[in-house]
Structure formats: structure tokens, C-alpha cells
């Protein structure tokens, strides 16, 4: 069976953009992308053979190019699209690597240098212990001891995490109980039982969780005034 390979022909927005940058002899960067923006848009205006399905991809790249150029012309412009600009730059670099690899593959195919390997023969191998030469019993005992210590850390870690979660739930319950007995409490009242820095952090996290769930309102009239907490 004969196959026809044509690996150099790419028709897409990244192919066009890479060609424009290479014609200008520019390195792939956001500055280079901004430089060729006008040429890219001019090509889209004149091109009539772009299918409707492919046109969306070209327009997406055109939009990103316009954002990049606007940022360079107006440095004070909001940087919300910085990630998409870097993403386009990275996509173009990856596309260039694939294009170069395709050219090398085409040379190999044209030279008709093919090789085929036979299927691997199924062999059943019994597992055996083959320690390195010179490994002493003391060295082996030390290695096993280190492995056991690592396993113990992994086993006990979830228990420590669970203890923190439980303490946070308990603090949330305590704050709700305090608000059940009084319409308004102050922050010092909430910190009354804090014994360590960890307890203070748990208090803050509990308050933030209750605020996020719209269960409490936290107010402070002045910078150094008392923080009050009331139930919604």
C-alpha cells in the first residue's frame, strides 16, 4: 500500500503568522507579534479562500494580535489579556518546533530509509532480588529504615489535615453559638479562647467562611475601632 506524505503544507493562522515573522527576520515575542499585526490583518482582508470553519481561528488570532499591539501602544492599558498574549507566543513557538520536525520527517521519508521491528516475544520472568555489588546488610537496613519513615509520614499526614478541618468546623460552630445568645459580638470575644497563633488563624478562617456564606456581617467604623460581628 502506497502513502503520499506532504508535511510542509500547513494552512492556518499560526502558519501565516509564523511566515510573517520569519519574513521580517524577527524573534517570536510579543513585540514581534505586534509588529506583524497590520500585515496579518491585511492578508485577512484580501484572502477569499478561507473557509467559514477556519475563519473563526484566524479571527481569534487577529483579536489577540490587536490586544498585544494596543498594550504596546498604550502601556497603561489594563493587563487582563496578558495570559492570552503569552499563550499565543507559546503556541507559535510550539508550532515552529513541529514545523521543523515535519521537515526532518519528510527528508527521512523521501530517502526511503525505513526499518521495522518484530513484535516483542512474550517471556515470563520470575522476579528476583539482585542487589548492587558491594551492598552490605547495614546499608540495606538503613535504606529500609528511611523508607519506613517516609511511609509513616504519608500515613499520618491525612490525620493532621483532618485535625485542622475539625478545629475549623468547631470554631464556626462556636461563633454561631455566641451569636445565638447575643445579636452582636466583638472580635475580641471571638478570640477569647485562642491559645496560639494557630487558634487565631482558625478564628479568621471561620469568620471568612461565615461571611462568604452570608451568615454574618463584620463591621468596623474606624481604623482602630473594635470589629463587631452580627448575624444576618
Report, as an integer, the average pLDDT of 200-219: 86
Residue 3 pLDDT greater than 70, yes or no:
no
% of the chain with per-residue pLDDT over 90: 0
pLDDT at 74: 73
Q: At what angle do helices 52-73 and 13-23 cross, to 10 degrees?
A: 40
pLDDT at 128: 80
| 9 pLDDT tier (thresholds 50, 70, 90) | very low
Q: State which of 34-43, 119-128, 187-196 shows the largest mean pLDDT.
A: 34-43
Residue 218 pLDDT greater than 80, yes or no:
yes
Report, as an integer, the average pLDDT of 2-16: 54
Q: CB–CB of 39/20 below 8 Å?
A: yes
Span of 1-10, 26-35, 115-124, 214-223 with lowest mean pLDDT: 1-10
pLDDT at 91: 81
91 or 159, which is more confident? 91
Residue 17 pLDDT greater than 50, yes or no:
yes
Mean confidence (pLDDT) of the chain? 76
Angle at 170 between CA 169 and CA 172, to 5 degrees: 65
Report, as an integer, the average pLDDT of 97-122: 77
Task: Report pLDDT digits (tens) over 61-104.
Answer: 888 888 778 877 776 655 555 556 677 878 888 888 888 888 88
155 or 180, which is more confident? 180
Q: Where are the domains of the chain?
A: 13-110, 164-231
pLDDT at 7: 40
* Alpha carbon distance 210, 155 (integer Å): 32
User: What's the 3-state SS for the chain?
Assistant: CCCCCCCCCCCCHHHHHHHHHHHCCCCCCHHHHHHCHHHHHHHHHHCCCCCHHHHHHHHHHHHHHHHHHHHHHCCCCCCCCHHHHHHHHHHHHHHHHHHHHHHHHHHHHHCCCCCCCCCCCCCCCCCCCCCCCCCCHHHHHHHHHHHHHHHHHHHHHHHHHHHHHHHHHHHHHHHHHHHHHCCEEEHHHHHHHCCCHHHHHHHHHHHHHHHHCCCEEEECCCCCCCCEEEEC
Could you say which architecture CATH assigns to the domain 164-231? Orthogonal Bundle (1.10)
Cell numbers given for 55 = 475563519
* Alpha carbon distance 172, 176 (integer Å): 6
pLDDT at 2: 38
Residue 196 pLDDT greater than 80, yes or no:
no
Burial of 40 (0-12, 13-18, 19+ CB in 10 A): buried
184 CB-near residues (< 8 Å, 6+ apart): 228, 229, 230
Q: In residues, how long is the chain?
A: 232
Amino acid at each position: 500500500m502506497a502513502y503520499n506524505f506532504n508535511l510542509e503544507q500547513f494552512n492556518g493562522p499560526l502558519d501565516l503568522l509564523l511566515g510573517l515573522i520569519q519574513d521580517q527576520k524577527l524573534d517570536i515575542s510579543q513585540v514581534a507579534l505586534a509588529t506583524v499585526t497590520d500585515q496579518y490583518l491585511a492578508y485577512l482582508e484580501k484572502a477569499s479562500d478561507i473557509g467559514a470553519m477556519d475563519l473563526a481561528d484566524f479571527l481569534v488570532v487577529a483579536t489577540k494580535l490587536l490586544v498585544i499591539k494596543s498594550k504596546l501602544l498604550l502601556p497603561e492599558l489594563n493587563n487582563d489579556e496578558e495570559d492570552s498574549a503569552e499563550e499565543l507566543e507559546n503556541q507559535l513557538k510550539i508550532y515552529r518546533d513541529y514545523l521543523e520536525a515535519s521537515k526532518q520527517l519528510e527528508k527521512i521519508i523521501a530517502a526511503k530509509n525505513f526499518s521495522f521491528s518484530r513484535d516483542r516475544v512474550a517471556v515470563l520472568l520470575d522476579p528476583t532480588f539482585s542487589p548492587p555489588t558491594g551492598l552490605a546488610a547495614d546499608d540495606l537496613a538503613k535504606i529500609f529504615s528511611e523508607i519506613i519513615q517516609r511511609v509513616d509520614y504519608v500515613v499520618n499526614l491525612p490525620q493532621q489535615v483532618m485535625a485542622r478541618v475539625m478545629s475549623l468546623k468547631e470554631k464556626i460552630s462556636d461563633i454561631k453559638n455566641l451569636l445565638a445568645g447575643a445579636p452582636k459580638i466583638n472580635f475580641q470575644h471571638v478570640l477569647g479562647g485562642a491559645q496560639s497563633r494557630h487558634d487565631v488563624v482558625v478564628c479568621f478562617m471561620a469568620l471568612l467562611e461565615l461571611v462568604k456564606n452570608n451568615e454574618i456581617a463584620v463591621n468596623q467604623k474606624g481604623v482602630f475601632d473594635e470589629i463587631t460581628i452580627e448575624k444576618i
